Amino acid sequence: MIELQKFIVSELKKIHPRVYQEWAPEDAVFPYVVYRFPTSNPNERREDFILEIDIWDQPPDGSTVTLQQLADQIDSSLNGVRYTSEDWNTRIDRINRLMIPDPDETIRRRQLRYELRTFEAGGM
- The answer on pLDDT for 43 being more than 90 is no
The arithmetic mean of pLDDT across residues 105-116, rounded, is 97
- The answer on pLDDT for 123 being more than 70 is no
- The answer on pLDDT for 91 being more than 70 is yes
- pLDDT band for position 77 (50/70/90)? very high
Q: What CATH code would you report for 2-120?
A: 3.30.2000.10
CA angle 84, 85, 90 (to 5 degrees): 40
- The answer on pLDDT for 51 being more than 90 is yes
Please check whether residue 18 is in contact with residue 34, taking contact to mean a CB–CB distance below 8 angstroms. Answer: no
Domain range list for the chain: 2-120
DSSP 1-30: -HHHHHHHHHHHHHH-S-EEES---TTPPS
115/94 Cα distance (integer angstroms): 6
- The answer on pLDDT for 3 being more than 90 is no
